[in-house]
Amino acid sequence: MKNISTATLHTHPHGKDIMQILNACINAVEPGNAIRNFVRREKNILQIEDQKYDLNEFDQVTVLGLGKATEAMSLALLDVLGSYPSRGLLIPKQAFTSPASGFTVSPGGHPVPTAASIHAGNSAFDLASTLTEKDLLICLISGGGSALMTSPQRGLQLEDLQALTKLLLACGARVDEINTLRRHLDRVKGGGIAKSVNGARIASLILSDVVANPLEAIASGPTAPDPSTREDALSILKKYDLLAKVPAAILQVLENTPETPKPNDPLFERVQNVLVGSNSLAAEAGLEMAKSLGFETHFLGDTWQGEAREVAKKLCRYFKREYPRPFCWIAGGETTVTLHGRGKGGRNQELALAAAIEMNGLENSMLITLATDGEDGPTDAAGAVVVGESYQRGERLGVNAQAFLSQNDAHSYFEKLGDLLQTGPTGTNVNDLTILFGF
């Protein structure tokens, strides 16, 4: 159990209960648990969900892991497989010691791809290309994989992808829109790994960080069919008025590169994609814990998207209705932030700061935002804790919520209040949770 107290939680009568609820959300989607729930081995028979693989029938068992949960997922998988994997390539956000002989750890860059991402992506493409129909490739896919593993289409440079990513993040594009573009600009995304394995069998274990869990959007779908087209990708650039701003090479690739493999492509007959963890699973675990602690509970769904400060307004309306108390309601999803200032923060902290304005003076209420990976934007915080007194407490400390929100500087605001939620990296990533409490 993580000690994730803040100034408010430390003194709140329900603080310890609230920390138990937050921990329950995170522990439910801990990657090791997710793998063990879906993967079993009895002698030479490996069972993944309802599919059985006779490991003796394969020349090689190769592992490809990518995303923020790579370390925990790979350790759990190797614990189940024992000596069977012949080799593996693991692409995490942060370096760790190779878990076994024959495994290479090649960290990438995030949230904007770096030269390390290119190295990792090209290594993944090369590894997949050496396989044959007599091999089994087990993929471990989790959030962050889109940036961490990048192998640009011919004609694209790293600088082109970096410029595009920064433009998309700054204009508030949704993650599914960003990943639609990535799938059409990269050799390993949009079914690219499945296409390159020369008929090898693939079993992908996927921890979802995308709203509604579309497989093609999680790490940009390296082993999933891509329902989108190059025209869809161009439409996204038009929507955000980016056609004249992106590098010319981006437009050239979108106009000339062959389409990605689609859902009816026969190559996916040899691919098993299994969702092993999701936002709704994390929320349900938190609600179950809350119920056991005496809270009335309700799930507000896992499809909350849009501008963080606008979502905050919608969620705060629930506090103004009459419900039995104490209650714990949880909403899941992934909001966006359109940058207006040069402050520090992330979408969860921005949502919390907007909520502090909406909740000013509201009694017996609390809102907590939580990035399940423990890292909200380029900060060391997962989110923040807000109560009706937060706004006035900020004023007494010399910080005005509205002024800090106008500069997208939520991290500095909640740092002053001592109410940044700092879990540390959790090793998992299934989007964001916003938790509403009434007492």
Backbone angles phi, psi at 318, to 5 degrees: -65, -30
pTM: 0.78
Domains of the chain: residue spans and CATH: 7-28+280-438 (3.40.1480.10), 31-277 (3.40.50.10180)
C-alpha 246 chain-centroid distance: 25
C-alpha 257 chain-centroid distance: 28
Adjacent-strand bridge partners of 39 = 48
Angle among Cα 159, 228, 268 to the nearest 5 degrees reads 105
Place of tokens 């209705």: 321
Adjacent-strand bridge partners of 204 = 139, 273
Q: What is the pLDDT of residue 381?
A: 96
Q: What is the pLDDT of residue 428?
A: 85
Q: What is the pLDDT of residue 1?
A: 57
Reported as type and span, the H/E element at residue 140 is strand 135-141
Please give the DSSP secondary-structure letter assigned to residue 189.
T
Please give the DSSP secondary-structure letter assigned to residue 48.
E
Q: Which amino acid is it at 263?
A: P
- Provide the H-helix boundaries in 39-139: 70-81, 115-129
Please give the DSSP secondary-structure letter assigned to residue 319.
G
Q: What is the CA radius of gyration of the chain?
A: 22
Q: What is the pLDDT along the chain (439 residues), one digit of tens a residue?
A: 577 899 999 999 999 999 999 999 999 899 998 999 899 999 999 999 999 999 999 999 999 999 989 999 999 999 999 878 779 999 999 999 999 999 999 999 998 899 999 999 999 999 999 999 999 999 999 988 999 999 999 999 999 999 999 999 899 898 789 989 999 999 999 999 999 999 999 999 999 988 889 999 999 999 999 999 999 999 999 999 999 999 999 999 999 999 999 999 999 999 999 999 999 999 999 999 999 999 999 999 999 999 999 999 999 999 989 899 999 999 999 999 999 999 999 999 999 999 999 999 999 999 999 999 899 999 999 999 999 999 999 999 999 999 999 999 999 999 999 999 999 988 888 999 999 999 9
Asked if 225 contacts 162 with a C-beta cutoff of 8 angstroms, the reply is no
Please give the DSSP secondary-structure letter assigned to residue 302.
S
60: three-class secondary structure by DSSP: strand
